[in-house]
């Protein structure tokens, strides 16, 4: 009887429902907080620029939400599912597009009204301001990614091309972050408001780093792995960047055999991996293409200083 009651109680709120409520409560709470701070003292030089600031803040919140959706946090992935999170990511992305475009148009229109100049002249003047130029570049990247993500266009692109363009959103995020830092107008009237705003950004970046890098490494280490490989090849796009090993190897604890995987075309690559701390190097294609695998292995061993 007690076991039955326990199962019923556990089933009152399914994990997926609890996770959705937790996620949306977090998002809405922060959105309401941002709006409250804005309406407290968020006015611009005129009504149009006030509207521009409103949409700019909401664009930033949407970008932070996008980061949270793709952070691959285990608690969300297991309960909501990456497929559902990806669908939300897509629609939030299109909402972000229109929010950014509205912000951009209102900024140009607002400053044009203040200066009594044409929108074209005002746009070119703003492009000469570093902070504004960074924002323009970030907006342009979002527009391009949104365009290639439309079903008609995406269906005619190779997945590798689409995914490579999609990764530019991380660049847009960085540009938007620096854009805000240089603008210095985001909640500048209140120190607590500024601390809250930048803490929100740090939490979003932290979620991404935790889900994409820290958690995978921690799982391998917690499993008691005595050998841990870092693959320089992105298995989605098949692009190779050997510096990925150099960036992540310091997170591997002492005593674990560190294996550098992919990106070896010759002895110099083995020597580079060795210099970054690799204990072993996984080589495949380079041996096949060498024509003389025995000599190639000898050269690789010599390059490693063995």
Phi and psi at residue 259, to the nearest 5°: -110, 125
**Model confidence at 10, in pLDDT bands (50, 70, 90)?**
low
Q: What is the pTM of this model?
A: 0.68
Q: Cα separation of 258 and 229, whole Å?
A: 6
The tokens describing 266, both together, are 């010759």
**Model confidence at 105, in pLDDT bands (50, 70, 90)?**
very high
Hey, how many other C-beta atoms are within 10 angstroms of the C-beta on 248?
17
pLDDT at 42: 67
Pairing of strands 257-261, 227-231: parallel
* pLDDT per residue as tens digits for the range 112-149: 999 999 999 999 999 999 999 999 999 999 999 999 98
Q: Is the predicted pLDDT of residue 46 greater than 80, yes or no?
A: yes
Q: Cα separation of 113 and 120, whole Å?
A: 12
Q: Cα separation of 284 and 229, whole Å?
A: 15
The tokens describing 26, both together, are 């977090």
Q: Is the predicted pLDDT of residue 9 greater than 60, yes or no?
A: no
């Amino acid at each position: 009887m007690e076991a039955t009651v326990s199962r019923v109680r556990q089933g009152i709120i399914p994990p997926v429902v609890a996770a959705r409520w937790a996620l949306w409560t977090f998002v809405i709470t922060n959105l309401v907080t941002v709006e409250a701070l804005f309406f407290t003292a968020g006015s611009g030089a005129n009504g149009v620029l006030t509207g521009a600031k409103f949409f700019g803040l909401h664009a930033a919140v949407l970008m932070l939400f996008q980061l949270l959706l793709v952070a691959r946090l285990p608690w969300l992935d297991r309960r909501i599912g990456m497929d559902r999170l990806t669908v939300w990511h897509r629609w939030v992305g299109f909402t972000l597009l229109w929010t950014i475009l509205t912000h951009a148009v209102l900024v140009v229109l607002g400053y044009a009204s203040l200066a009594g100049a044409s929108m074209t002249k005002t746009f070119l003047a703003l492009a000469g301001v570093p902070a504004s130029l960074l924002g323009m570049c970030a907006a342009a990247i979002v527009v391009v990614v949104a365009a290639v993500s439309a079903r008609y266009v995406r269906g005619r692109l190779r997945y590798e091309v689409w995914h490579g363009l999609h990764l530019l959103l991380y660049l847009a995020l960085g540009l938007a972050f620096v854009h805000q830092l240089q603008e210095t107008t985001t909640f500048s009237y209140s120190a607590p408001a500024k601390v809250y705003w930048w803490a929100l950004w740090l939490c979003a970046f932290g979620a991404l780093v935790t889900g994409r890098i820290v958690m995978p490494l921690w799982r391998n280490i917690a499993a008691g792995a005595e050998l841990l490989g870092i693959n320089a090849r992105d298995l989605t796009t098949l692009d190779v960047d050997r510096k990925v090993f150099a960036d992540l190897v310091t997170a591997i604890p002492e005593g674990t055999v560190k294996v550098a995987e992919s990106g070896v075309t010759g002895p110099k690559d083995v020597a580079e991996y060795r210099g970054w701390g690799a204990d072993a190097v996984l080589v495949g294609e380079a041996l096949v293409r060498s024509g003389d695998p025995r000599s190639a292995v000898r050269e690789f061993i010599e390059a490693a200083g063995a």
